[in-house]
């Protein structure tokens, strides 16, 4: 797991400045598995915590509200 990206997500200081590919890799490292892709939306599911993540790119960055959503999941489930 990329600790730098994880810390950026947890801290909330760089929500609008995280690369989409780094964010996507973090989601996978946290136990989310690919479900499907429809257009620009990619859906992931983590069966251990029963949570979904629907992500999409904003240029080369991840969308800030999706980063906040992942942070809430990490905190709620102690990932």
Q: Which residues of the chain have pLDDT under 50?
A: none
Q: Domains in the chain: how many in total?
A: 1
- Which 8-state DSSP code applies to residue 76? H
Q: How many angstroms separate the CA atoms of 4 and 28, rounded? A: 15
List the 51-55 sheet strands across, edge first.
33-38, 41-46, 51-55
- Per-residue pLDDT, 4: 94
- Per-residue pLDDT, 48: 95
> What is the SS3 assignment for 37?
strand
Per residue in 18-32, pLDDT tens?
999 999 999 999 999
Domain range for 21 = 3-77
- Per-residue pLDDT, 56: 94
- Per-residue pLDDT, 22: 96
Q: What is the CATH number of the domain that holds 72?
A: 3.30.920
- Per-residue pLDDT, 36: 97
């Amino acid at each position: 797991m990329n600790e730098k990206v994880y810390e950026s997500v947890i801290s909330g200081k760089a929500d609008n400045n995280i690369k989409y590919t780094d964010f996507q890799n973090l989601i996978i490292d946290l136990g989310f598995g690919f479900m499907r892709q429809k257009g620009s939306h990619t859906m992931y599911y983590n069966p251990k915590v029963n949570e979904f993540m629907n992500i999409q790119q904003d240029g080369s960055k991840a969308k800030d509200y999706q980063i906040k959503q992942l942070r809430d999941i990490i905190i709620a489930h102690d990932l």
